[in-house]
């Protein structure tokens, strides 16, 4: 959307077709009007503040996200540049160029929401894994203590002792895996 306002009264003097389509208003309905004639007062005041800012600066300012209410498209988000055009050494016009970035902003928001949801799922998984590892380690401790108690009460060279040693070795490996799993869940 391209528009031009008179620097003295901040009324629109030019408006392109893209602006008509975006706002849902014809050029004839826009020319000679101020922001207060077209937008809710709070929104119009924000536009006027930006216009006065660019007039004071005498240069160009960019607005990254400003919302407008389109009669045909609802709330739209614009990225705008405003520049002063001088005439006889003083500000004569403000020329504006506005891009409708609503879809881009919505896509960014959706992407951020998905990332947040993913992070929350990963955090929840970490909590579940942490609880599992805690309970699993408690079970392994009972197995290890029982196996070690059996080994201590057996005679050396008993055939069952090798089986119990395998139980202790397997429980030790399982405890190591549980520690690794806990470390991963804390990342």
**For the domain that residue 90 is a member of, what is the CATH number?**
3.30.450.20
By residue range, what is the domain housing residue 84? 2-100
How confident is residue 53, by pLDDT bands cut at 50, 70 and 90? very high
Cα–Cα distance list, 13 to 3, 9, 21, 78, 141 (Å): 8, 11, 17, 20, 83
Residues 8, 94 within the same domain: yes
Structure tokens at 21: 């389509």
Average pLDDT over residues 128-151: 85
Residues 85 and 117 grouped into a single domain: no
Looking at the fold, whether 37 and 91 belong to one and the same domain comes out as yes
The verdict on residue 36 lying in a domain is yes
Is 70 exceeded by the pLDDT of residue 183? Answer: yes
**What's the domain count of the chain?**
2
How many angstroms separate the Cα of 174 from the Cα of each of 58, 61, 72, 147? 72, 63, 64, 14
106 within a domain of the structure (yes/no): no
Together in a domain, 13 and 84: yes
> Is 21 a residue whose pLDDT tops 90?
no
168 domain residue, yes or no: yes
Mean pLDDT of 40-64: 90
Could you give the CA distance from residue 179 to residue 56 in angstroms, rounded to a whole number? 64
pLDDT (tens digit, 9 = 90+) per residue, 77-120? 888 899 999 988 899 999 999 989 888 877 777 777 888 887 88
- Looking at the fold, whether 50 and 137 belong to one and the same domain comes out as no
Average pLDDT of span 134-143: 87
The pLDDT score that the predictor gives to residue 84 is: 94
In this prediction, residue 157 carries a pLDDT of 67
The single residue listed with the structure tokens 């050494």 is 89
């Amino acid at each position: 959307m391209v528009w031009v306002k008179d620097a003295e009264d901040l009324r629109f003097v030019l408006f392109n077709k893209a602006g008509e389509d975006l706002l849902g208003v014809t050029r004839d309905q826009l020319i000679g009007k101020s922001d207060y004639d077209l937008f809710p007062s709070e929104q119009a005041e924000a536009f006027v503040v930006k216009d006065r800012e660019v007039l004071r600066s005498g240069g160009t300012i960019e607005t990254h996200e400003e919302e407008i209410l389109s009669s045909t498209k609802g709330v739209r988000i614009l990225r705008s540049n405003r520049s002063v055009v001088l005439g006889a050494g003083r500000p004569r016009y403000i020329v504006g160029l506005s891009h409708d970035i609503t879809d881009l902003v919505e896509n960014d928001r959706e992407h951020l929401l998905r990332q947040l949801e993913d992070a929350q799922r990963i955090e929840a998984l970490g909590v579940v894994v942490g609880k599992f590892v805690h309970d699993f380690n408690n079970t392994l401790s009972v197995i290890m203590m029982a196996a070690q108690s059996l080994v201590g009460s057996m005679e050396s060279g008993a055939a069952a002792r090798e089986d119990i040693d395998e139980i202790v070795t397997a429980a030790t490996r399982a405890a190591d895996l549980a520690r690794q799993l806990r470390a991963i869940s804390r990342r």
